[in-house]
Amino acid sequence: MVDISEKTATKRTAVASCIVEMAAETLDLIKNDQIQKGNVVEVARIAAIMASKRTPDLIPMCHPIRIDSVDVRFTYVSDTQIRISGTVKALETTGTEMEAITAVSVGAMVVYDMCKSVDRGIRILAIQLEEKSGGKSGHFLRQSETE
């Protein structure tokens, strides 16, 4: 495990995202709250938040941190895709990137789990860090593919 004992706590923020792609009929069922297991977006949001807080239990050598805020959002980006974005904030000596990536990954897995009975072809795509700030390495902002 990396020694962070000499580092100064700073405000850390990380934003991660992913895309969940499915049949248009499946996305319609989600939008109309007609998936048998329940409200997909709300269950996935809660799971994502809970997962972010358990990141050190899942990722070897990941430091436990005191998370101050987790915000998970779901956006319908097309008739077959949902974008999940997660923002994690903490006043810490190490970053929040892994917590944000864990949040969106687990959120996407919950969407799959809740919808697999109607669509086994669901795909989880482009899990990635979008932005991070704070700490020694400074600010990172992913450039869009069109830039």
Residue 67 is which amino acid?
A: I
Report the alpha-carbon angle 46-48-50, nearest 5.
70
121: left (phi over 0), alpha (psi -120 to 50) or beta: alpha
Q: Is 113 a catalytic residue?
A: yes
Report the alpha-carbon angle 147-27-124, nearest 5.
55
Structure tokens belonging to residue 146: 């069109």
φ, ψ of residue 86 in degrees (nearest 5): -135, 130
Q: Sign (positive/negative) of CA torsion 97, 101, 104, 106?
A: negative
Q: Which of 28, 33, 68, 113 is catalytic?
A: 113
Which residue numbers are catalytic? 113
